[in-house]
Amino acid sequence: MSRHNSIANLDDDDLLEGEESGAPAGPERVPAVPEPVIIAQGRPRPALRLADLPEPEEIEASGPLSAEEEDLYALCMRGVEEFKTAWWVLGKSMANMNSRRLYRKTHPTFEAWVKDTLDKSRATAYEEMTAYVVGELVSARADKAFEEDSNSTSSARVPSIGKKAAGALNSVTKDYGAAVSVAVIETIEDSTGKKVPVKALTGIVQQLPRKKEKELTEEELTALARELAASEAGKTQPAEDAAERKDLTSLNSLRTAVSSLEAAHRALAPAKVRSALDEAPEEAARLLATAQDLSAKVAKRVG
């Protein structure tokens, strides 16, 4: 029997992987996979779209993949390969691999599959699978904005969100859904008048109560987010001034380091090196080896 369980609604305690048990999933238990697009030979295959992937659905499945599961497995792997940088499509592909147990084609567990395929931990994968629904929603809004005004839509008007920012909203997404998460970040950006750094966004979201502690309406949640963002903005200017001073200090430190390197280069003149080797061969050789090691490290850093 199929179990519907949206990844976005997982609580932190729900991230335990289910046991693989029961009879193999029958074809009727898997939603229809979009028909493959036939492309004329020699033409590039169109990029995978979010709409090409079905919604992730929890299925107790074991044994070999059915024919339809094989098709969906191939589709998800295509999403993994094509969209390692389009994080929301990758997240949805991972969600299908996990919820439908498609990983069993090559691996005994989702944890093993995601480690071998993407070099991600299971915890990181679950965070990205929670965040993808926010990226999917924002991406859909961006597509709509472009379609409505394709000739004059500027990048400043097109919605966008990075993986880390969406991940910072995971607690809101789990409690209230992607739409509320988007409302929260839009409220924060409206109140500050600019994109909020991930660190600041994380700090604001961490101060929002979890639903199990105190359930809020969307209006109450966004109002609280606005209040916290205004408070955070009051701390921003002094921090920016300090960062500018730090940049100047860093530049002065770099000047000092380069001057020291120039002095060391002069001190390591060939005649002085030969003289040191004559006076104390072993000690001089050890120091020269250290100098070569440091030289390689410096070259690597400035390269």
Q: Which residue has the tokens 């792997």?
A: 77
Q: Is 285 helix (H, G, I), strand (E, B) or coil?
A: helix
Residue 146, pLDDT score: 39
Residue 19, pLDDT score: 37
Q: If you count them, how many residues does the chain have?
A: 303
Residue 117, pLDDT score: 92
Q: Domain map of the chain by residue range?
A: 1-131, 268-303
Beta bridge partners of 58: 3
52 vs 76: CA distance, rounded Å: 10
Q: Please answer whether residues 205 and 160 qualify as being in contact, where contact means their C-beta atoms are separated by less than 8 angstroms.
A: no
What is the token pair recorded at 42?
A: 């020699």
pTM: 0.50
Q: Please answer whether residues 67 and 59 qualify as being in contact, where contact means their C-beta atoms are separated by less than 8 angstroms.
A: no
Q: Which residues of the chain have pLDDT under 70?
A: 1-46, 82-85, 141-160, 233-252
Q: Please answer whether residues 184 and 218 qualify as being in contact, where contact means their C-beta atoms are separated by less than 8 angstroms.
A: no
Residue 119, pLDDT score: 93
Listed in sequence order, the residues at least 6 apart from 232 whose beta carbon sits closer than 8 Å to its beta carbon are 192, 196, 200, 203, 204
Q: What is the DSSP string of the chain?
A: --B---GGG--GGG-SPPP--SSPPPGGGSPPPPPPPP--TTSPPPPP-GGGSPPP-B----SSPPHHHHHHHHHHHHHHHHTSSSHHHHHHHHHHHHHTTGGGGT-SSHHHHHHHHH---HHHHHHHHHHHHHHHHHHHHHHHHHHHTTTT--TTTS----HHHHHHTHHHHHHH-HHHHHHHHHHHHHHHTSPPPHHHHHHHHHTSPPTTT----HHHHHHHHHHHHHHHHHHHHHHHHHHHHHHHHHHHHHHHHHHHHHHHHHHT-HHHHHHHHHH-HHHHHHHHHHHHHHHHHHHHHH-
Residue 269, pLDDT score: 79
Closest C-alpha among 163, 170, 204, 221 to residue 15: 170
Per-residue pLDDT of 48-84, as tens digits, reads: 777 888 989 888 888 999 999 999 999 888 888 766 5
Residue 120, pLDDT score: 92
Residue 111, pLDDT score: 96
